[in-house]
Every structure is written in C-alpha cells, then in structure tokens.
Amino acid sequence: MSTLYLRAARVLTGVDNGVIKDAAVQVDDGRIVAVGPAAQVPPPADPSVPQVDYGDATLLPGLIDAHVHLTLRRGLDTPLPAVPVTDERALLQGVEAARGVLAAGVTTVRDCAARGHHAQELRDAVEDGIITGPHILASGPPITTTAGHIWPLGYEADSVTEVRRAVRRLVKEGVDFIKVCATGGRGTPGSVIGRAQYSTEELRAVVEDAHRLGRHVATHALGTEGIRRAVEAGIDTIEHCAWLGLDGETLAFDEAVVESMATQGLVASIAAGPPWEVFHQDKELAGSSRPTTVARLETMKERWPLVHRMRELGVQVCFATDSVYGMFEDFHDLSYLAQALVEYGDFPPLDVIEMLTAVPAQAIGWGDRIGTIEPGKLADLLVVKGNPIEDIQALHAVTAVYQAGALVA
Ligand SMILES: [Zn+2]
C-alpha cells in the first residue's frame, strides 16, 4: 500500500484547530503515522519512499460532504425528484459526480437519498476500484410517508410497523445509514414543510431498529415541529435544521430543543447549497424557478445566526451542500459553500474547515478513521495552493487529493 512523505508550508491537523508550520506528514501503508514540524518528522531513510514537497501550500484532511445526492441533477429534480431520468442515466450521473467531487478535494460523501440501489452500487464501484470517487456512505431510498417529502425516490411507510419494515428492508439492501423525512420539503409539491410527517413514536421506531442493526439515522427536518420530534426520538443527525414555524416560513427557533440536542450529542447537519449566482453567473440557472440570488443569500444570512447560537449552546454543527449537482461545472460546491460561510456568514475559516472535516467525520460514525490528520487515521488528504485561513478561496486551488495515501486527483 501507499507509503510516502509529504511536506508543505502548513498543515491543518483538524485537532483543536491545530496549525503546524513548515510541516511534514509521514504515511505508511495508507495510514498517517506521523505529523509535525519537518524538523521533528524527518524524511524516511529508505530512498525508495516517494517524497513530495508542495512548498507554499496547505495540507488538510480531505473534505467531507455529509449530505449530497450524487445521482440527481439540477433541472431534473423538481417537482418530482428523479422521475424524468432512467436508472442507467442516474447511475452515470453518479459516476460523473463521484469523479468530480473527488477532484474538488472531497474524499468522503454521505449520499442522503437515491433511487433503488444506485448509491450502494456507486459506493461499491469506488471501493472495488472500478470508478474513481470519494468514499460513499449510502442511505439508498429515504423513508417517507405516502406522498411525503421526496416520495418518488423513497419507500413510503405510514406506521410504526411499516417504518420498522422499511429500515429492515434497507439494511437488507446494503445501506450504510437510514434517511427518514421528518417534515415536508420544498422539492415535493403537496408535502408540508412546517409540519411533522411522523409521530415521535414512529421516529423512535426508526432509531431503535436502525441502531439495533448498527446504522445511524439522518432526518430531513425543516420545520421545528419535526425537529422537536426527531430530537425526542434521538435521531443522530438533523439535516437542514431550518427551524421553520408551522407556516413553513417564519423562524421558530426553540432553545429547549437545541439544549436537548447538545445533551444527547445529536449533530445539526446544515445542508444547504451555496448561493450559486453570487459566485457563478449562469443565465439559465439564474432564470430558473429557484429563489433569486439575493433572496437566497438573505435567507441564509437570516439562518446563520441560529447556527452560531446552536454552536454556543454546545451543539455539534457540520455544513453540507445538499448537492443536486449541476450548479458548478467543476463540482466545487463544497468550496463555494465554505467561501459563503466565511465571506457572508461570519464563521472563522478554521471553524469552517473543522465543520467540513472533523465534525462530519464524527457525525457519520467515521470519527476514528478520517476527518483529522493524526497518527492512525487514513491518509485522506487535500493539498491546496496558498493558505485558506487567510483566504478561504484557496480551497478552490486543489493541487493534490490523496485517498489512503494514494494520489487520486
Ligand atoms: Zn437532500
């Protein structure tokens, strides 16, 4: 396996926001064995071990996008997700996205809803070396109510018995985690954003069975009513977590629920794509039925203070793109999101990087494998030109991407 020695002007370890200057990383058999100042981590004596000095570059953990939809494409996702394309095309779209996001520095994704077995097949194709792509955790079809959010992709289940059966069926189909829709969603006409789709009892049944079977649970939750029930049920990651009132528009932040999230160690996974027109003028997209640039950015600016407050109250927060790809040709959606968070959201760059590496690694249950640069972890590494702490846009300047020490992009 891959053994190598890397140097760079700085390494962001992801451990307590650590920054090591003039640093080196030693990789042995795909795993990190040493990291520190180059003076303390000397090159290996064996001259056959490859050594790369990236100069004025930053080495950081490979990025993690904890909420994507590799097989879906913008323009094809509304009003009924994924209906217009064939299975074969959806899978090919997934192959393209897998290659693209990896080249953009994202070494792990969690695919939070795909039709049939698409996401599992993509995951296995990457692990078997058939295609290049990030490590993929797949939920497969989401569990939702009849006619509920994202039903064309999902398994409809309307009672405690039915949700349990859906969990067991998904596990049989090889999923890595369970996605359940606790509220309605924007892409699904007729679903109600501000209202909960399931009772606490039903959500609890999902959690009980998923945990029994060794899977964590992610829930789509825009409205506070659904968030509250999801938290009562102990769902591991609350996706979007938008705190919308019963009308689906006004904010209804609930600090008691937030405190319960913190106590239980539940993660808020703020899945919302970057306001693309801010970064990327695309006439056709800008003219679509989606919210305009200004409205979208204003919406985010309204929500981000709630994220700051959640963090103050001790909730672990990660950000994710919810990407239905096609927004950025280069698949740099996550880097654009990072840029938006720093430039418009008042989040310090190091915190943003932590929320795209160490925190999501924990959230998806891979905290012992990836997310930081420390001995024992997989050498999933990203090298970018320049210094993202001073200029977050450096995240776009991808120089190299490693997976388990192998150069993959
Ligand atoms: Zn999503």
As a three-state string, the secondary structure of 259-273 is: HHHHHHCCEEEEECC
Distance 260 CA to ligand 1 centre (A): 24
Both 54 and 153 in one domain: the answer is: no
Both 85 and 8 in one domain: the answer is: no
User: If you average pLDDT over residues 344-372, what whole number do you get?
Assistant: 97
Distance 219 CA to ligand 1 centre (A): 10
Both 223 and 339 in one domain: the answer is: yes
CA pair distance 258, 242, nearest whole angstrom: 12
Distance 77 CA to ligand 1 centre (A): 11
Instruction: Give the residue with greater pLDDT, 152 vs 105.
Output: 105
pLDDT surpassing 70 at residue 379: yes
The number of distinct structural domains making up the chain is 2
Q: Of 159, 160, 225, whose CA–CA distance to 192 is shortest?
A: 225
State the pLDDT at residue 289: 45
For the entire predicted model, the pTM comes to 0.95
Distance 270 CA to ligand 1 centre (A): 10
Both 403 and 353 in one domain: the answer is: no
CA pair distance 383, 367, nearest whole angstrom: 21
Distance 328 CA to ligand 1 centre (A): 17
Residue 181, beta-bridge partner list: 220
Distance 113 CA to ligand 1 centre (A): 7
Distance 272 CA to ligand 1 centre (A): 8
Distance 112 CA to ligand 1 centre (A): 6
User: If you average pLDDT over residues 162-183, what whole number do you get?
Assistant: 98
Q: β-strands 267-271, 237-244: how paired?
A: parallel
Distance 271 CA to ligand 1 centre (A): 7
Distance 234 CA to ligand 1 centre (A): 20
Both 239 and 98 in one domain: the answer is: yes
Distance 46 CA to ligand 1 centre (A): 47
| CATH of residue 291 | 3.20.20.140
Both 169 and 156 in one domain: the answer is: yes
Domain that holds residue 295: 63-363
Both 51 and 102 in one domain: the answer is: no
Both 346 and 257 in one domain: the answer is: yes
pLDDT tens-place string over residues 295-325: 778 888 889 999 999 999 999 999 999 998 8
User: In sequence order, which residues have a C-beta less than 8 Å from that of residue 2 and are 6 or more positions away?
Assistant: 27, 29, 30, 379, 402, 404, 405, 406
Both 391 and 285 in one domain: the answer is: no
pLDDT tens-place string over residues 62-119: 999 999 999 998 765 554 555 578 899 999 999 999 999 999 999 999 999 999 999 9
Distance 123 CA to ligand 1 centre (A): 18
Distance 187 CA to ligand 1 centre (A): 10
Distance 66 CA to ligand 1 centre (A): 10
State the pLDDT at residue 329: 82
> Do 348 and 305 meet the contact criterion of CB atoms below 8 Å apart?
no
Distance 370 CA to ligand 1 centre (A): 23
Phi/psi at 13 (nearest 5 deg)?
A: -80, -25
Q: Of 54, 70, 142, whose CA–CA distance to 106 is shortest?
A: 70
Distance 185 CA to ligand 1 centre (A): 9
CA pair distance 47, 58, nearest whole angstrom: 25
Both 184 and 302 in one domain: the answer is: yes
Both 304 and 388 in one domain: the answer is: no
Distance 6 CA to ligand 1 centre (A): 36
* Residue-averaged pLDDT of the chain: 93
User: In sequence order, which residues have a C-beta less than 8 Å from that of residue 257 and are 6 or more positions away?
Assistant: 224, 227, 228, 231
| CATH of residue 11 | 2.30.40.10
Both 375 and 251 in one domain: the answer is: no
User: If you average pLDDT over residues 203-214, what whole number do you get?
Assistant: 98
> Do 304 and 268 meet the contact criterion of CB atoms below 8 Å apart?
no
Evaluate the CA torsion angle 293, 393, 359, 178 in order and state its sign. Answer: positive
